[in-house]
Structure 1
Amino acid sequence: MLPSVFLSSLVWSILQILLRSPTLIWLFLWLYMTLPVYAIPTQSQFPNILFTDFSRAITTTFGSGITLATVLTILFSLTDNSDLLNLHFRQQHPTEIGENKIQISGWIIALVNALGDKLGKKQTSSLFFDYEYSQSLWEEDGKKRRIKLIAGKLDSFANSLSLSPYDQDGNYCGKLSPISHDKIQPALVICPTSFVCVTQSCSPRSLLQTSQFRDIPLVTCVKGHAVHKNVPVLTGRCHSCQTSYSADHERFQDLSTTGKPWKRVYLNSAKYIKIGQALWVDRLFCASAVTAMYNFHASASAYAEYWNNTFGTGEVFISRAHIWQTFVQESMRTIAEESQINVELNDALNIKEVTAEAFSLLGEDGIIRAADKHSCEECTQIYRPVAETPAHVPPISDTDSNDSNVMDVDKKFVKMAVLDGIVMGPTHCAYDECQNDLSNSRGGSLCDQHHLQLGSYCLVRDCSNRRAEGTCACDNHQREWNTYKKYTTQNARSGIRRMLQHPGENYEWQPKAKGPNPQRHDDPNTDPPLPSNLFSPSRFYCVETICAPCGVVIAWTKFDRSESPTNILNFLGSVYPTEESRPDYICIDKACQVLATAVANQSWDIWKRTTRFIVDSYHYTNHRKQHFLCRKYCNPAPTNGEAPNLVIVEHSDNGRPIARRAFNTQVCEQLNAWLGGFESIAKRMTPSNFNWFIHAMLFYHTKYVIKRQHIKKQKKEAKEATDPEDDDLGLDEESEEESD
């Protein structure tokens, strides 16, 4: 041991050196801040006893009817509770004045109770010998004896495994550290889940493992969040049809197609998925990545950094590309499972091509498969032919409508769909009416096709001259090109980015603005003019969604240049092609515009027999009061009885009738508030990646909404089953004697 005087002088000398050199101070602070924020506790080895000793401990401690599962449960219950064992055995070895030796401590009793809840009555009974067991152990009088017997068995078993800080003579050997389970980790082998050939044109032959030992790849496998190194990956092959079977896909030759191409089937039942050249992960890892991206609006880069900082090691590094591969592979299988198919694509596609092909196959033009035939109390109301709004109920909103707008329907139920958009979208080719991916997402403005077509020509509109070297404009349009370059420098983009991130920040020298969107929703909406050049890529204007009032997403699409009524009508027509599929009401923030456009282009003849367009409650107050069309036909809650299915009556706790809207017309606004969290991520994606990302996120969102509704319904039914029916009436019950 060094003397304390020497240590004090050493520390003082180091401090003096640091104070003389600011560079060393900063270096010291940097090294301190880069240290891990947590400490890994010292671990003890797993009990290393002979199997004969372990078997003897089992047979001498527990009854002959104990199963292997019960033994392992007890074993791991002891090894995972080393702190509790320290507390228990310490009370058996008193050392201080006033301490008493307690053989069965409260600590071990707590473990007995937890173990009993885990095992259940049948498995707990197998712990006793025949001479110990009696039915009275499960009665209230025998509970204390039962706990004492099991506690003694756990105490004896722990001593047999040397899971005690004291030796057999009672000498203290040191605190029992957490037990390491590294020595008992299984040896993983990644192999196909099919054990026979499942090709329809072939017989169910057994699969052969044809790889030589030296050719079997050894990979890194992440199972949960545990990293396993040097895991062999085996591939099976059918000797007859030559179909190969891997853990996450099957590869076969399509003999029915010209050229007989090789196809790949992505298995929904895969336990492990390949996400890198020598990196495999299990489905728990995949589900964690997708769930984190959904719940936290996390990008692939953010989740990769989180995983590396939390679970990563120096030998394993998860990159952004790994997480994006994980997201695509997991979401593709989840959506395919909803459609009850396995995705079949051409073999040897890269991840960009897989993403595009997956959306083409599973995207269904933006229709969410999970919402198919969905119906619940929030989005479906019982049809009311007559308004039930009493005269003394306070009105929801003013109306000057009459009975000429009463819907002529003969239905048992009424449904509504809500439509709205959020301004966000990826970039695409700048050429007119072209929405293809950019050939170069960093600085390019054209797709592959138009880059080859216009690669040597001036990109100013209506100019066919050759461009000058090193520019995208001809000699006559260099001024326009220089202006474009001036405002696309890094400094200019930083200023524009600040303006976009702080739209309400105005200085005294700046003109006063009306706001980010001064246009009313009932103002005419036309497409913006075409740009004067093709120097920069175009960007999709918005993402348009159709939701049920309960929050279930029905469909979505992208609008390129504007949210025009024509685009909205075309979108509605593609989602609801038949009269039977159309809802009774469609709520749109600019419903009056859509209605006027539908009447003008005669598409109203298609909708008028089944559907009414109404404005959502929030934007209705922003529409002009003198707008006759909006007030007469698009009122979301008329109180004069002309739309009895839009207004319902409920009673307050004191019995007062209150009118409220039958449907939630703000559901799309609520969805957009959540969807907008992905705007910073999605706007940097290619259109193909954007399509799949948004479609997958809306699919998961719909599944979670339906799951929450199911849980809510179960709780409601359970409450109704336990509570008397008259509890909700708010009335005092009359006793039988009083009624007599």
Structure 2
Amino acid sequence: MSSSSSAYSSSTLQSILQIQASIAKYLDFEGCLKFIELIQLLKPTICLSQQPGLAESDAGEDKCPARLRLNVHTFLAQSLSVDHEAMKIIWRAMANIAWNFRVDESCVHSFGQRHIQCFLDYGRQNGIAFYHLMPPVRHCLDPRCVIKPKTSKKDELHRRPLKEAHSRSVTVFTQSFGPIPGISTSMFCSGCQTRYYPNYWVDRAQSTRTFYRIHRTFLHVTEGIFMDIATLELFTTMMLTSWTSASNCARIYNEAIASKSLSSSLPAAYSKSMVLEHNDVWNGLSLFWLLEDSEEEDEVLQIDHVAPSQAIRLRKALKRRNLWMAGTGQEAWNHVCDLCCWYNDLPDGTQTFLRSVVTDGITIGRPTCSIHDCDIPLDSVKHRFCPTHKDQNLICAVTSCSAPIDEGYQTCSLKDHRALEAYNDIHNKAMFQLKLRLARLKTSQPTDAFSTDDGQSTIFGDEEVLIDANGVCDEKSEKGNQTLRARFGRRRTHNEELCVASCGVILGRATFYGSEAPNGVRTFWKTLFPTQKSLPGVLWHDNNCRIMLMLEKEKDTYFSHSALPVDVFHFKCKHKAQDDKCNANCNPAKWPELMTPDGKWRFNSSAAEQANAWLGGYQAIVREMQADRYEFFLDELIKRRNRNIIKDLEKKGKNPHEIPRDFLLKPDTPRVD
């Protein structure tokens, strides 16, 4: 007996053997098993041609049909190598046992592996696909959309059945089989004018896509493209653990996963749509992460139905998620464990706790408005100025000049101003400039491992650069501001500021636009820890000495109950020993709570630098990202990295847990002066 029969019970096998005896002229035992397995794969297609029952619970569309539609009948005959008359006899003999055969999803998957070639060989000509994706419902979901059947004598109301099925060809990118031709079918409710698709329904009045809250196997990534969840999970893991860009995810998929043996069976018309592009990866991951987030927050995802592109369609949802993530939004924001929190039992029986966090910045960034500290998003990452400041495109690039530019130039007509622009043009073409900028960027890896683009023009040619009469002057001039200077190219955000618990869990992130100034760090802390109870007792930062001076000058007492030490490495190596203010305010030895009884530091004060080393691996990936996608991408990967770290902490017995949010966010009691 074949190994393929392992999915069948002994009673089922006996029934098949009995039936096979009556059709032995047409099918042997293996042929009977193949027929049953093909029916399991064809069920969605067969059910589509059946009318749904009146009641939502009525499985009328799942009843075994008396006869098959011609296209299904022909497909089965070709797959089993029998003629049409024989196929009729086989259906009459085996329909019930095949239709009522129940197996789990893993068995259906193994059936697919055995018989996918039949769909590639005979499916397209019969309008049948290996993957036929359709709505998970056959009745309208709106409880107000009901009908009273004409044949009903009672005043019964039933959900309106869906009709008007529309089908289109799609490509389904899978992990198991590579890219496979598929069919996507939508159905229409004539009562409320809602069309139901495999992943969502569209309300015609509101023109919105509302996603079902169900278990999904495939995701509608963009027009004509579906991806299975397994592939999206693989891409997520690749990005999280090995800094793999969307371009390299697509390249790996096309080279390693797409099955060459299956591709050879596809018609030539499918050759282009079988290639996964990097934009497909981004669109798929963005939607996948948004849906996961909506389910975790017990919400329903809604996006616009009509949009110029999938990226623009998702933008509003990305903005909503980004607003939620700002400040206290990270799910691990209230994390503590034995490595980042010290519980101390006092003699009176009460218990106190001391939380330790480290704040530091890393100079990765995205294109932003060239006006210092402007946080208004660009309309396009190729622009130099935001919509509010776009008139600056018409002003001379020399920093001290407000004259209008000449057409075709970035400077006015003054000779010495034009000379700076000419120098910049020559400098951009020089190979040494390319090497200089590559060294400055410290890029860890390219976005595409085999890109043939001109790196000079696409990566470095539009970088912001400050030039004076002596050449490139990215640093401050020794002559102060007297030297004539011009600013060319696009500005980038200054840095990403991370606040990291001493165990390595990232509690929050913020984009700094102009500089990592003390006031920016203070604002970041107050946004991240908006109440006194949420404020950690120890806030490490390598520039705390300047922050303390600012707080003293402005009489800001918000941090008066927190220690603001300089981390151990920077205090020993980068702060002057004779700096009395720094020694008095920020020397970590000032606080005995930071030391264990055996004289060791209680907390890791370098946790942020370790987190920055991880985040820096994404520099090449995010450098050309639009603002909303940039924020969303970083926050999502931080969330997933935190989950992995917390799992490791649990394995190591470090007691990871959470302080209740409602306790930490309880409003502060007003002070009485």
Query: What interval of TM-score do these two structures reach, taking the shorter chain for normalisation?
Result: 0.5 to 0.7
Q: Deviations over 1:183-220 (max 9, x none)?
A: 688943212335554457767964644344xx411212
Matched, 1:621 2:572: yes
Matched, 1:500 2:453: no
1:24-43 equivalences in 2 (<5 Å)? none
Task: Tell me, yes or no, if the aligned pair for 1:338 and 1:370 is still in contact at 8 Å.
Answer: no
1:328 aligns to what?
Answer: 286
Q: Deviations over 1:630-672 (max 9, x none)?
A: 323323345xxx533x2223xxxxxxxx332222221111111
Matched, 1:193 2:136: yes
Partner SS, residue 690 of structure 1? helix
Match of 1:469 among 407, 410, 429: 407
1:168 aligns to what?
Answer: none
Give me the whole-angstrom Cα distance separating, in 2, the residues matched to 1:551 and 1:237.
51
Matched, 1:446 2:385: yes
Matched, 1:279 2:231: no
Partner SS, residue 335 of structure 2? coil
Distance 1:592 1:431, change over 3 A: closer
Match of 2:208 among 263, 269, 275: 263
How much does 1:287 deviate?
0.8
How much does 1:579 deviate?
1.1
Partner SS, residue 339 of structure 2? coil
How much does 1:446 deviate?
2.3
The letter for the 2-side match of 1:362 is R
Distance 1:680 1:465, change over 3 A: same
How much does 1:449 deviate?
4.6
Partner SS, residue 652 of structure 2? helix
1:634 aligns to what?
Answer: 586
Task: Tell me, yes or no, if the aligned pair for 2:498 and 2:608 is still in contact at 8 Å.
Answer: yes
Matched, 1:383 2:383: no
Partner SS, residue 500 of structure 1? helix
Task: Tell me, yes or no, if the aligned pair for 1:206 and 1:238 is still in contact at 8 Å.
Answer: no
1:39 aligns to what?
Answer: none
Matched, 1:648 2:596: yes
Give me the whole-angstrom Cα distance separating, in 1, the residues matched to 2:357 and 2:10.
70
How much does 1:353 deviate?
2.9
1:376-415 equivalences in 2 (<5 Å)? 376-383=337-344, 412-415=352-355
Give me the whole-angstrom Cα distance separating, in 2, the residues matched to 1:483 and 1:319.
38
The letter for the 2-side match of 1:472 is Q
Partner SS, residue 419 of structure 1? strand
1:577 aligns to what?
Answer: 530
How much does 1:432 deviate?
4.0
Match of 1:482 among 419, 422, 443: 422
**Largest Rg, 1 or 2:** 1
Give me the whole-angstrom Cα distance separating, in 2, the residues matched to 1:59 and 1:602.
90
2:647 aligns to what?
Answer: 707
Distance 1:308 1:219, change over 3 A: same
Task: Tell me, yes or no, if the aligned pair for 2:500 and 2:608 is still in contact at 8 Å.
Answer: yes
The letter for the 2-side match of 1:192 is P
Give me the whole-angstrom Cα distance separating, in 2, the residues matched to 1:551 and 1:528.
42
2:302 aligns to what?
Answer: 344
Distance 1:322 1:480, change over 3 A: same
Task: Tell me, yes or no, if the aligned pair for 2:135 and 2:185 is still in contact at 8 Å.
Answer: yes
Give me the whole-angstrom Cα distance separating, in 2, the residues matched to 1:538 and 1:529.
23
Distance 1:708 1:662, change over 3 A: same
1:628-707 equivalences in 2 (<5 Å)? 628-638=580-590, 642-644=591-593, 646-649=594-597, 658-707=598-647
Give me the whole-angstrom Cα distance separating, in 2, the residues matched to 1:529 and 1:590.
30
1:301 aligns to what?
Answer: 247
Give me the whole-angstrom Cα distance separating, in 1, the residues matched to 2:432 and 2:617.
25
Give me the whole-angstrom Cα distance separating, in 2, the residues matched to 1:676 and 1:228.
33
How much does 1:595 deviate?
1.4
1:159-174 equivalences in 2 (<5 Å)? none
1:120-135 equivalences in 2 (<5 Å)? none
Partner SS, residue 325 of structure 1? helix
Partner SS, residue 378 of structure 1? coil
Give me the whole-angstrom Cα distance separating, in 1, the residues matched to 2:531 and 2:282.
38
Give me the whole-angstrom Cα distance separating, in 2, the residues matched to 1:484 and 1:544.
32
How much does 1:496 deviate?
1.9
Give me the whole-angstrom Cα distance separating, in 2, the residues matched to 1:432 and 1:518.
16
Distance 1:714 1:422, change over 3 A: closer
What count of residue pairs does the alignment treat as equivalent? 490
Task: Tell me, yes or no, if the aligned pair for 1:458 and 1:466 is still in contact at 8 Å.
Answer: yes
Partner SS, residue 133 of structure 2? coil
Give me the whole-angstrom Cα distance separating, in 2, the residues matched to 1:235 and 1:714.
51
How much does 1:533 deviate?
4.3
Task: Tell me, yes or no, if the aligned pair for 2:365 and 2:623 is still in contact at 8 Å.
Answer: yes
Match of 2:317 among 350, 355, 358: 358
RMSD, aligned CA:
4.0
Give the TM-score, by structure 1 length: 0.59
How much does 1:547 deviate?
1.4
Q: Deviations over 1:424-446 (max 9, x none)?
A: 1112121344334445545x422
Q: Deviations over 1:437-485 (max 9, x none)?
A: 445545x42234533x345443444544432221122212322322222
**Identity score, percent:** 20
Task: Tell me, yes or no, if the aligned pair for 1:426 and 1:682 is still in contact at 8 Å.
Answer: yes
Query: What are the ranges of 5 or more consecutive residues in structure 2 without an aligned counterpart?
Result: 19-29, 35-112, 120-128, 147-156, 264-270, 444-473, 657-673
How much does 1:709 deviate?
2.5
Task: Tell me, yes or no, if the aligned pair for 1:424 and 1:679 is still in contact at 8 Å.
Answer: yes
1:493-572 equivalences in 2 (<5 Å)? 493-500=433-440, 532-533=485-486, 535-572=488-525
How much does 1:585 deviate?
1.1
1:592 aligns to what?
Answer: 545
Distance 1:715 1:55, change over 3 A: farther
